Structure 1
């Protein structure tokens, strides 16, 4: 890219490196410690998080989420260091989520990171949340150069690496897939514990009817707000049975909340599989890596697997420990950047709600 100096790819470390990662871009506060060893391997020493959970039917507001992060930050960090068996003095750097995300929660975690940096005289590394997901996914699964489907509460992107940058091939034109699922969970009053998306997935397993919904792919992009509106409208249909039970023996043309969860998942996931396959064809890749909170959805992994096998390819995904927002992914991406000589000056240790994946210089990849 113009104005950028091309660096050598990341070399094997000459000594073990340790990093503390702090994540708090949404309702999950995470802290994790990772070690990069001299043999080139990485070891997850700890990966803890605490989730702000609201009552059924309610979302999480920025102010309340930020308050949760401030209240729990000290305990989560202490427990992460204890589980790792190290102290902050042993860490080479402190990594935090710079963005994207919700403003107030991001600021709370950035403040904690700056405070630790000053107290212990440790370098800071601001990390792009999306790149954190990608690098942790690559590390855990061993995927070499995959097309990445990044699906979470705030982001939906199809990404591929080229020339030290993660290029965005396609994305949502309005709301993210996780936001779509979460908002519908509130409509049908599903619990937010452990997460609305997880409870949508469990309800969908009981669904038996596939109802018609808009299918909106536009080239490499998707649009999800109209699908959400249409699904919400079906809850007002006279055939909808909120309790999941028919009104009598003659009531055969009815559908349930489980049917709507099943329909919403199948439709939205089919759209995501389509644009991912198009990206694979474009770059000639046979690997797909699914990252982000929605990436832990087993049905999405199954559908992507069917497509990949038809192309003689492979799907790589992780479980909820690494898919759902966590501190260790921030530590991984931050330590990779730190080992290339990058750190964030204290005067620029801000955060931003809008920080695109393709704005990051991926200096550690050739």
Structure 2
């Protein structure tokens, strides 16, 4: 087993992924990635690429034209363009790096995804990480944005919100878009988990001229290790940030071949992965209620994960994660990675995983609930 001392890395409690990879029976429920066996067509496309030794070639700088077109089609954004990046986070880095010299402030959430704040912080841009944990609906409210926004800010919206699973309603987005227009601000709409949400609205539908949409293949298609994502925007807006890309030699050809196959056959796959994910969410919610260990923060999460508040148990989030890892080889994530204010209160549990993994998690959660608080 991996001890807490062994597993501490650059993210505090976050276990070293290299050490976790060395454990063959680890239950991966801490990264929000899909661990279901991928569609056969996706695997075959990558195998054919490997057999053809395409890995010895550089890819087109912006990604294969077909893949870019399929991403735009998947988002329903005719007339837009996509730039394929080394994961969605590389797209975020590119946006922050290019805009860092002209924007005044980043507005983001706590909890949220910390990296855009870190990217822009290196340029001296102030960051307002606004509390959503205690808000109704667990989303950012327009009045919070209004209190801090400055001309030419960036509003970073993760939707559905990692790590809580909340989703923005159209009315909420319209109010935030109005503030962005008034202040000549940009919106970065992080749609990493969009494929798991019902009733999702794209900010680009409401504000096409000032919105960057980021897109991922790690979550819905399970290609996390291939490092493949995209930035989508109006062609002239996209060109303004991608003229000097961090990677001018293109993202993984092998991964792009798999992504093309996945998007070609996405409807049956999405129906399957959503059904498994929803059943797993229901199962995790049931075991949390059954044991009384914690409380689900956003019931019926719109993502492929659940946040569970454990603050009433006498345990800290890091303690819960440590004990599940040490005692059952179940890897989940503490909120401390994504929230400096509320992180010790909750853990995050990934759900687009095999059903047997969820049963292993359920057994471990029950066992933890029966143990005395140390």
Q: Same fold per TM (> 0.5)? A: no
TM-score range, shorter chain: 0.3 to 0.5
Q: Give the structure-1-normalised TM-score.
A: 0.34
1 or 2, which has the higher strand percentage? 1
Q: Give the structure-2-normalised TM-score.
A: 0.33
